Amino acid sequence: MDTLTLNEVAGDLRLSRRSILRLAKAKDLPTITKPFPGGFTYLIPLNSYLEWKKTRQLKKKEENSLSNKTFVKEQISEWLDWLKTGKLIGKPLSEHTIRLYIYCFGIYWNNLVIKRGNRNSLISVANLRQVLGSIDPKSFSIKDNLYKAIRSFIKYLIINGLVDKKFLEELKELKPKRFYPAKKVHCSQDEFERLLIEASRWHSGQTPYDVILNSTTIATIGLAGLRASELCNLKVQDVDLVNRKLFVYLGKGKKNRFVGISNRLYDYLANYLKLRPKTNLENFFVTTIRSTRGELVPFNTATLLRKVKRLSKRIGIEVNVHGLRRTFATIAANSGKPINIISLALGHADLKTTQGYLMTTQDEVIKEMQGW
């Protein structure tokens, strides 16, 4: 076995023999001992030394670059480009996921305490532990998404030789665990009916089109189970009233699917088309911008979220757009529809995901059992 002496290592690293001896005694340097009468000396196996040196250089590079916040943010920008183009994992991530990761890094920076004169990497297990520890334990989804964002960024750093691949293994110990039940909002059948009635009610300042837009968007989510982005991305050609089906183009996970149009939803969609303004826009749902004298624009998720929040508040319930998807799944399951059909309608790849959507309240359990 080829070995090096302390003096040879000191010369290679351009350090004093005393510094190398200190590393050997602290077991920070791979060594073996060679005894001689009255004592022993340290020898360094060549192959182990070369591997150690490579790791040491990588750590130095990490300390010199990832301790610089400007450099780290430049790398984050490049990483986001990789996510958009699919360069990191072979397929592009959705705009929603990328926005979520950007939001998560905002939380990371806001909660990270950086000491003056810091020379250590800003992206580290210790720092992530500190940031996750500063977040309310009940906010599992925030912690989980933050962990996923950091993990994805570390994969990018590994590919670019900025951190050691062992980092991913060390990170596993910080994977968030849920300690509190998830807050899952949905409507009961009665509440959903009240929400539809409220959405169909005219209020001062509204046009007939405003009213039909409100009711049809609520009905489309609650009766077809679409996601907010899927509803807003619907094109006119995607709504086939003749064959009674909706085409969802590139839903979550970049997957296409067809969804059936029920008798009830058919009426909402048909009535909506009668009042839909004439426009060259391809989007099925369009709205106006009052500040630009009624210019028509595609209906967007931010507007949809505000509408659902406003309408639900009027009738005294708490539900959001995703809650209406859960409502669709729950009502369908309670009426005896097969869970595999519900799962396909929602665009889920796993039945377990669909099962997590099915909500049953204590009142519903009591009412059901009273009829036994």
Bin 62: left if φ > 0, else alpha if -120 < ψ < 50, else beta.
alpha
Tell me, what DSSP letter sits at residue 277? Answer: P
At which residue do the structure tokens 């998720």 appear?
Answer: 301
- DSSP lists the bridge partners of residue 288 as 296
**How far is 65 from 68, CA to CA, in rounded Å?**
6
**How far is 75 from 66, CA to CA, in rounded Å?**
9
**How far is 250 from 96, CA to CA, in rounded Å?**
13
Active site residue 155: no
Q: Which of 143, 186, 325, 326 is catalytic?
A: 325
**Phi and psi at residue 36, in whole multiples of 5°?**
-150, 165
Active site residue 348: yes
Active site residue 325: yes
Q: Which of 143, 186, 194, 227 is catalytic?
A: 227
On the CB side of 313, how many CA atoms lie within 13 Å of its CA? 6
147: number of Cβ within 10 Å: 19
Distance of CA 233 to the CA centre of its chain: 20
Q: Which of 148, 252, 257, 314 is catalytic?
A: 252
Q: Which of 56, 84, 314, 322 is catalytic?
A: 322
**How far is 86 from 352, CA to CA, in rounded Å?**
27
Active site residue 227: yes
Of 110, 162, 155, the closest CA to residue 131 belongs to: 110
Residue 173 structure tokens:
């110990």
Active site residue 203: no
Q: Please give the positions annotated as active site.
A: 227, 252, 322, 325, 348, 357
